[in-house]
C-alpha cells in the first residue's frame, strides 16, 4: 500500500448520515481482487463533552478519576471509522462487517481536559478462510505528543474457504475464580445511544433476526470496556497495551462470568458465558518495555 492521503475534517461525520450511507451501500460486492482506498481522515482539536463522558462511564462501569477511560478515545474515532468504510471505492458493505479483534496502546493517561487530534486510515487487507480481514488504524495525539493508538480488525465473509478437514479448536479451560455480571437486554440500545453505533443487530430481537441472529447481541467494544472498567484500579500508570479477541456473540439479556489472571507484566482476562466455559472475549494487558 502506498502513502495514505489524509483529508482534514472540520467536524465528526454525523452517525445518522453514516448509517444512511451504509444502507445505500448494502449491496456492494468485493469482486475478485478487492483493494482498500488509500485515504485517511484527520480531525483536530476534539474537546471534552462532560455529559457524554459521564454517560459513557455509566454504561460501561468506569469510575470518574479525572482521566479518560482507556477505551473512550474510540468513541471519537468511530465516526471516522464509519466514514472510511463508506468511501465510494471501499470494497465491502458496512453492514456485513464483523469486528473480530481490537488492540489499544495507551502511552500515558489522558486528562479529561486535553484536546485530541485524531487520525484514522485503512490497511492490512488479507484473504483469510471464508473471507477477508482488514484493519482500521487510529492514532491520537495531544500537543504534538502521541498518547493513544488502536487497531480494529474487521472480517467480511465472502464464502469459500478451505475444503479440508476443519481443525478442532482446543477446548477452553473452565473458569476458576470469576465475577458474575447480569447484562440487561437493553445494553445495546444504551451503549448505542452513547457510541452512535446503532447497528440493528444490537438493538431489538426483531432487528437482530433480520441479520441472522436469534436476538440482539452486545457490542464487542462495550464488552471490552466493561472488562477494563472491572480492572480500572489495576491498570498500569505507565504505557501499556490491551488486546482483545472477540469470540462468540453475547445474546442479551445474559449472565456472564469475568475472569482475570495476573501475569508477568500484565494480566490475561476472559469474559465467559454463564457456564464458565463458552468464551465471548479473551484479552491481554501488557506493559510496554523501554
In the sheet with 266-272, reading across from the earlier edge strand, the strands are: 5-9, 39-46, 116-128, 131-142, 145-157, 97-106, 240-246, 279-287, 266-272, 254-263, 178-183
pLDDT recorded at residue 19: 81
The closest of 104, 63, 48, 73 to 234, measured between CA atoms, is: 63
pLDDT bucket at 3, cuts 50 / 70 / 90: confident
Indicate if the pLDDT at residue 203 is higher than 60: yes
| Domain 172-290 -> CATH class | alpha beta
pLDDT at 202 exceeding the cut of 60: yes
What pLDDT was estimated at residue 164? Answer: 47
Mean pLDDT of 185-207: 93
- pLDDT tens-place string over residues 216-238: 999 999 999 999 999 999 999 99
Block residue for cell numbers 480488525: 153
Stretch 65-72: mean pLDDT, rounded? 97
Assign residue 161 a region: left if phi > 0, alpha if psi is -120 to 50, beta otherwise? left
Please state the three-class secondary structure of the chain as a single string. CCCCEEEEECCCCCHHHHHHHHHHCCCCCCCCCCCCCCEEEEEEEECCCHHHHHHHHHHHCCCCCCECCCCCHHHHHHHHHHHHHCCCCCCCCHHHEEEEEEEEEECCCCECCCCEEEEEEEEEEEEECCEEEEEEEEEEEECCEEEEEEEEEEEEECCCCCCCCCCCCCCCCCCCCEEEEEECCCHHHHHHHHHCCCCHHHCCHHHHHCCCCCCCECCHHHHHHHHHHHCHHHCCCCCEEEEEEECCCCECCEEEEEEEEEECCEEEEEEECCCCCCEEEEEEEEECCC
C-alpha separations of 226 from 47, 157, 202, 222, 281 in Å: 24, 28, 16, 6, 11
For the structural domain made of 1-160, what CATH number should be given?
Answer: 3.10.129.10
Beta-carbon contacts of 181 under 8 Å, excluding residues fewer than 6 positions away, are 226, 255, 256, 257, 258
Q: List, for residues 162-179, the tens digit of each pLDDT value.
A: 544 555 666 667 767 899
pTM: 0.92
Structure-block grid coordinates of residue 230:
472491572
Question: Mean per-residue pLDDT for 176-183?
Answer: 90
Give CATH 3.10.129.10 domain extents, the chain. Answer: 1-160, 172-290
Q: What is the pLDDT of residues 114-169, one digit of tens each?
A: 999 999 999 999 999 989 999 999 999 999 999 999 999 999 988 655 544 555 66
Q: For position 211, what pLDDT does the model report?
A: 82
Residue 17: predicted pLDDT? 85
| 83 phi and psi angles, rounded to 5 deg | -60, -35
pLDDT digits 0-9 by tens, 95-121: 878 999 999 999 999 999 999 999 999
User: pLDDT band at 290, cuts 50/70/90?
Assistant: low
What is residue 75's predicted lDDT score, i.e. its pLDDT? 96
Alpha carbon distance 84, 152 (integer Å): 13
Q: Name the average pLDDT for the chain.
A: 92
Listed residue (209, 214, 222, 218) closest to 185, CA to CA: 218
Amino acid at each position: 500500500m502506498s502513502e495514505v492521503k489524509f483529508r482534514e475534517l472540520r467536524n465528526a461525520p454525523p452517525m445518522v448520515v453514516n448509517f444512511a450511507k451504509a444502507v445505500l451501500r448494502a449491496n456492494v460486492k468485493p469482486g475478485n481482487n478487492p483493494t482498500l482506498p488509500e485515504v485517511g481522515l484527520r480531525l483536530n482539536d476534539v474537546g471534552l463533552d462532560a455529559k457524554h463522558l459521564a454517560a459513557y462511564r455509566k454504561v460501561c462501569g468506569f469510575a470518574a478519576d479525572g482521566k479518560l477511560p482507556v477505551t473512550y478515545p474510540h468513541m471519537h474515532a468511530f465516526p471516522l471509522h464509519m466514514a472510511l468504510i463508506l468511501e465510494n471505492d471501499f470494497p465491502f458493505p458496512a453492514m456485513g462487517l464483523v469486528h473480530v479483534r481490537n488492540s489499544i496502546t495507551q502511552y500515558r493517561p489522558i486528562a479529561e481536559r486535553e484536546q485530541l487530534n485524531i487520525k484514522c486510515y485503512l490497511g492490512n487487507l488479507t484473504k483469510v478462510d471464508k473471507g477477508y480481514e482488514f484493519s482500521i488504524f487510529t492514532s491520537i495525539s495531544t500537543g504534538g505528543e502521541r498518547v493513544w493508538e488502536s487497531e480494529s480488525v474487521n472480517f467480511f465473509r465472502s464464502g469459500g474457504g478451505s475444503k479440508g478437514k476443519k481443525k478442532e479448536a482446543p477446548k477452553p479451560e473452565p473458569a476458576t475464580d470469576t465475577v458474575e455480571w447480569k447484562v440487561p437486554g437493553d445494553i445495546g440500545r444504551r451503549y448505542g445511544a452513547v457510541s452512535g453505533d446503532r447497528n440493528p443487530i444490537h438493538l431489538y430481537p426483531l432487528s437482530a433476526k433480520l441479520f441472522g441472529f436469534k436476538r440482539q447481541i452486545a457490542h464487542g467494544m462495550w464488552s471490552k470496556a466493561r472488562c477494563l472498567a472491572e480492572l480500572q484500579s489495576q491498570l498500569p500508570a505507565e504505557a501499556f497495551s490491551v488486546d482483545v479477541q472477540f469470540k462468540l456473540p453475547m445474546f442479551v439479556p445474559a449472565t456472564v462470568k469475568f475472569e482475570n489472571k495476573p501475569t508477568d507484566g500484565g494480566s490475561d482476562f476472559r469474559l465467559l458465558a454463564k457456564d464458565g466455559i463458552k468464551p465471548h472475549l479473551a484479552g491481554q494487558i501488557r506493559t510496554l518495555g523501554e
